[in-house]
Amino acid sequence: MDNKHFYITTPIYYPSGKLHIGHAYCTVATDAMARYKRLCGYDVMFLTGTDEHGQKIEDKAKEAGVTPQQFVDNIVAAPGGVLDLWKLMNVSYDRFIRTTDEYHVAAIQKIFKKMYGNGDIYKGSYKGKYCKPCESFWTESQLVDGKCPDCGREVVDAEEEAYFFRASKYAGRVRDLLLNTDFLEPKSRVNEMVNNFIDCEGGLQDLCVSRTSFTWGVPVGFDPGHVVYVWLDALFNYMTALGYQNGKYNDLEKFWPADVHFVGKEIVRFHAIYWPAFLMSLDLPLPKKVYGHGWLNFNGDKMSKSKGNVVDPHLLSERYGVDALRFFLLRTFPFGSDGNFTNELLIQTINTDLANDLGNLVSRTTAMAEKYFGGRLPEARQTNPELDEGLIAQVSALRDQYEGQMEKYQFQNALELVFKAVQRANKYIDENAPWALAKDMEANGTRLGTVLYHLLETVRICTILLTPFMPESCEKIFQQTGADASCQTWDSAAEWGVLPAGVTVRKGENLFPRIDMAQELEELGRIQEEAKKAALPAVAIEPQLEEKVDFETFCKSDFRAVKVKDCQRVKKSDKLLKFTLDDGTGTDRQILSGIAKWYNPEDLIGKTLIAIVNLPPRKMMGQESQGMLISAVHTEKGEEALNLLMVDDKIPAGAKLC
């Protein structure tokens, strides 16, 4: 039974902004693979999730004025966020892990301690070049033109006390794994890894696995100033999500080692070098395979939010349907290589494969079954070897050939085989000219019925094999062609003649309408240009309440009613107003407030306001401010608006608020 389990993973995503079609690429491929394996009868575990720690997230949260936890909570669940996109793309994951999940955090602490305990993690000090966005330290020799070799951005000098993982100890075993097994695919990625990171000058370097320069991470349990390096934290998700070092799950025996990790090419280094080395250190079985897929570019350029050329999966699936988009991604680009996304290619693929070939085959066949046989599938009683054998042989051999390609993750080739069969069936229609046969039903009715049966049987088998790629559309095709569950199985895809005569065939909705290329290109171009201008807004951050403070701390804040004795603009500042206030002490209090945009100074004289009076004084434009006036800040017609808190004039100056 053991071989009937299949464990597949995607990378866990950084919840740092809106995801684009490049992000969806890997997850859609993983989904197609998971669905295919389920179809073959495997008990599948498809894991995905989010990688939520690290300096990048800490910085972004600060920018948004929320805590890192609030930031990631929002963005994971927000419209356009990870969960939303996977739902839209019909991604059938079995488990979703967040690296901030308590069970994962606790497990990472144990793992770190174990590796420290066995001597593979030791304390040292790190001096090197640091790429902040990638959260990677590099040696001088690894830099490309003095910049980060992964992302090409500036690096900075950095030094910190840190823990190191003895990667060097495992260099030989990892090298052997890469060169002498099928662990890493496609093979083209192997040499790059070995040459650049193992057989390079100085050999495989020990890896810095803790940080002290920020706090948003898993704390090293026995040395609280340190947080665990985000990649060690993230890579172990593949095992903690099955229950490694935690009691939340109990699936290790069933699913570990993973059958395959699908990852993008720029993170192959972490998965093919450090991940096996970590596992070797803990004496754990290694995953069977890491598959490094290529990148999707847009019009020949790297997709990037800052360039404003990211392709929005929401927009495309709204216009063409989710299945068409899923299909396009896996039909057009060989999984192991880079692909160039263009709008033309997308529309052309939809028109050629889906509208012309598949859509036409289904609609012509079902329409003829309705028209000539009242929607009842006839029997195949009059075969004509010369006309039929080619089609039947091709379609009967299809499943096994398809399987061969799917097992190698060659989605493009698997789909090519199916579409060869679809095209063959369309040709079969022309060769048999059913409309001519239909002119004399008495003489040719049996042959016509046979032709239709062969066509519907071809549609059935092709539809089974397309289900992992286009689940919803295939479901509709099964309904239109009368194929019930027993005619949708993997076994039945290798058998000709399973669809029982007599089932009801109905011409339904047109599943893949043809798109007017010129008109659509213009429209899409316009929309994408607009989005570029707007530089794709990030996922909206919901308003959040501040972090909690304890009661005692709160009580230390001294809020008082104050009366405005005088108010004037501060010279050379278009923001500041200077208030002279009666705070009930007998001595005037001066407060500066950046509210000139909303108030005329003279309108405020005589008003009773609220101020916090025990803040340390600070200088603004060379003048001292002794506290802060309290206002309500909100948004009005998309603009920031502000109202000073004014209270009843009967409240005396100096009255304490509590």
* Residue showing tokens 């693979």: 33
Rank residues 167 and 368 by Cβ distance to ligand MSP and give the closer one: 167
Take residue 590 and report the two structure tokens written for it.
């001066």
Q: How far is the CB of 394 from ligand MSP (least distance, A)?
A: 33
Q: How far apart are CA 277 and CA 167, in angstroms?
A: 6
Report d(CA 333, CA 467) in Å as an integer: 19
Q: For ligand MSP, which is the closer residue by CB, 263 or 421?
A: 263
Residue 337 carries which DSSP code? Answer: S
Q: Which is nearer to ligand MSP, 301 or 602 (CB)?
A: 301
* Cα gap 270→129, rounded to integer Å: 18
Residues 6+ apart with CB under 8 A from 169: 120, 281
Longest dimension (CA), the chain: 115
Tell me the closest approach of the beta carbon of residue 571 to ligand MSP, in angstroms. Answer: 49
User: CA-CA distance, 654 to 196, in Å (whole number)?
Assistant: 70
Answer for the pair 366, 480: CB distance below 8 angstroms, yes or no.
yes
Closer CB to ligand MSP, 51 or 259, in the complex: 51
What is the C-alpha to C-alpha distance for residues 175 and 168, in angstroms, rounded to an integer? 11
> Which residues in 232-251 contact ligand MSP (CB under 6 A)?
234-235, 237
**DSSP state letter for 144:** B
User: Residue 14 Cβ, how far from ligand MSP at the closest point, in Å?
Assistant: 4
Interface residues for ligand MSP in 250-269 (CB under 6 A)?
263-264, 266-267
Please give the Cα distance from 123 to 162 (Å, whole number).
6
- Please state the closest distance from residue 264 (CB atom) to ligand MSP, in A: 2
Residue 22 or 68 having the CB closest to ligand MSP? 22
Query: For residues 575-634, which are near ligand MSP according to CB under 6 A?
Result: none
Q: Which of residues 291-350 bind ligand MSP (CB under 6 A)?
A: 295-296, 303
Cβ nearer to ligand MSP, comparing 23 with 98: 23
Among the listed residues 8, 12, 193, 653, the single contact to ligand MSP using CB under 6 A = 12
CB closest to ligand MSP, residue no: 264
Q: Least distance (Å) from ligand MSP to the CB of residue 348?
A: 20
Q: 6, 7, 8, 13: which one contacts ligand MSP (CB under 6 A)?
A: 13
Nearest approach in angstroms of CB 26 to ligand MSP is 5
Distance, CA of 184 to CA of 207 (rounded, Å): 21
What residues are paired with 219 via a beta bridge? 227
- Residue 47 or 177: the one with the smaller Cβ distance to ligand MSP is 47
Q: Find the shortest distance in angstroms from Cβ 10 to ligand MSP.
A: 7
Q: What are the distances in angstroms from CA 13 to CA 9, 48, 49, 64, 332?
A: 12, 8, 6, 20, 24
Q: Which is nearer to ligand MSP, 100 or 365 (CB)?
A: 100
624 Cα distance to chain centroid: 50
- 559 forms part of the interface with ligand MSP (CB under 6 A): no
Under rule CB under 6 A, residue 11 binds ligand MSP: yes
Task: Answer for the pair 76, 15: CB distance below 8 angstroms, yes or no.
Answer: yes
> By C-beta, is 304 or 382 nearer to ligand MSP?
304
- The dihedral over CA atoms of 461, 462, 464, 466, expressed in degrees to the nearest 10, equals 170
Strand (E) or helix (H) holding 603: helix 601-604
Contacts 24+ apart (CB under 8 A), 23-27: 23/85, 24/85, 24/89, 24/313, 24/329, 25/293, 25/296, 25/329, 26/262, 26/263, 26/264, 26/293, 27/86, 27/89, 27/91
Task: Report, in Å, the least distance between residue 467 CB and ligand MSP.
Answer: 24
E strands in 62-174: 95-98, 121-131, 136-138, 156-165
- 577, 613 contact by CB (below 8 A): no
Q: Which two tokens stand for residue 388?
A: 């039929």
| Least distance between ligand MSP and beta carbon 239 (Å) | 11
Whether a cis peptide bond, with omega within 30° of 0, leads into 186 is: yes
Stretch that binds ligand MSP, among 230-238, 431-439, 450-458, 590-598 (CB under 6 A): 230-238
The window from 5-13, 244-252, 368-376, 489-497 that contacts ligand MSP (CB under 6 A) reads 5-13
Q: Residues 21 to 60: which contact ligand MSP by CB under 6 A?
A: 22-23, 25-26, 51
Which among 297, 240, 289 has a CA at the least distance from the CA of 268? Answer: 289
| Residue 316 vs 595, nearer CB to ligand MSP | 316
**Binding residues for ligand MSP, total number by CB under 6 A:** 19
91 binds ligand MSP (CB under 6 A): no
Candidate segments 19-27, 370-378, 408-416, 627-635, binder of ligand MSP by CB under 6 A: 19-27
Q: Where do contacts with ligand MSP occur on this chain (CB under 6 A)?
A: 11-14, 22-23, 25-26, 51, 234-235, 237, 263-264, 266-267, 295-296, 303
